[in-house]
Amino acid sequence: MTQLPLGLDPRTETLRRLQPLLVQRFGHIQRAAAAWRAPEWVLVQGVIGARTKSEVSNAATDRLLKRYGSWESVANAPVAQLQDELSTQTYPNIAAERLKASLTDLIARRGSVDLSHLEGMATQEAMDWLEQLPGVGRKIAAGVMNASTLDRPVLVLDSHHRRILQRMELVPAKADTARAYAAIMPAMPPEWSAADYDEHHLLMKKVGQTWCRPARTDCANCVAQLLCEMGKREKDTEAVPTS
């Protein structure tokens, strides 16, 4: 039996092989440097974005800042007013309450809506700090660290991405977001940049929207089938002749 070199995680090679397949199918999804957002903007977008398309949440975040002029003014706005401003969100009432709570708590901790201190912190330390804010879990904390000017190589996991990793058996089947994150991060290719992490997440999201849906899969057409344990089982089942 061939022994793998000590410390080599076979999942890393799976991820390396997966990425070009996804790029071939969907094309590159690259973020332009000019479009990178301040960490505070990404925090707000994440807090209000539950079950809402990113482009809708992006527009709502820009709209809030344009109307109120500062995140401190957003924090001071009445919840009912914020609910009206966030009417495009899937859960506007919850979004408004969480936003006010998180910004108010941030002001209490920092004196203003300011995350500049995260720049000098180690990535995990910064994420742990962010997760102390109301309404901020692992997904939002990772988004702030990766998809803002902080530009850290950390993985954002939404429900689509986590579901695919579970079906591929790259993370435990019943792992929540925090546990799935802890499981997959050691397997991420060490040569990937923060932008590679971001592109990987966006490509995996497309897989979840195209073939690997929550209630129904289309393994036969998925480009990741032969890298996926569920996909390989589906292929083997189809290959068995019926009597």
| CATH code of 25's domain | 1.10.1670.10
Domain residue limits at 108: 37-146
Confidence (pLDDT) at 83:
97
Q: What is the mean pLDDT of residues 130-135?
A: 97
Place of tokens 């009445």: 78
Query: Helix, strand or coil for residue 68?
Result: helix
CATH number at residue 103: 1.10.340.30
Are residues 105 and 90 part of one domain?
yes
Instruction: Return d(Cα 138, Cα 239) in angstroms, integer.
Output: 40
Q: Are 204 and 222 in contact (CB under 8 A)?
A: no
User: Which of 35-39, 48-52, 143-147, 160-164 shows the lowest per-residue confidence on average (mean pLDDT)?
Assistant: 35-39
Instruction: Return d(Cα 238, Cα 162) in angstroms, integer.
Output: 26
Are residues 173 and 134 part of one domain?
no
Last residue of a domain, one of 124, 146, 168: 146
pTM for this prediction: 0.90
Are residues 41 and 19 part of one domain?
no
Last residue of a domain, one of 105, 121, 146: 146
Confidence (pLDDT) at 41:
96
Q: What angle do CA 42, 35, 106 make, to 5 degrees?
A: 20
Q: Is residue 241 part of a domain?
A: no
Q: Is residue 71 part of a domain?
A: yes
Confidence (pLDDT) at 241:
61
Instruction: Return d(Cα 19, Cα 204) in angstroms, integer.
Output: 9
Q: Is residue 8 part of a domain?
A: no
Total domain count for the chain? 2
Sign of the four-CA dihedral 97, 98, 99, 101: positive
Last residue of a domain, one of 146, 166, 191: 146
Answer whether residue 24 shows pLDDT above 60.
yes
Instruction: Return d(Cα 144, Cα 172) in angstroms, integer.
Output: 25
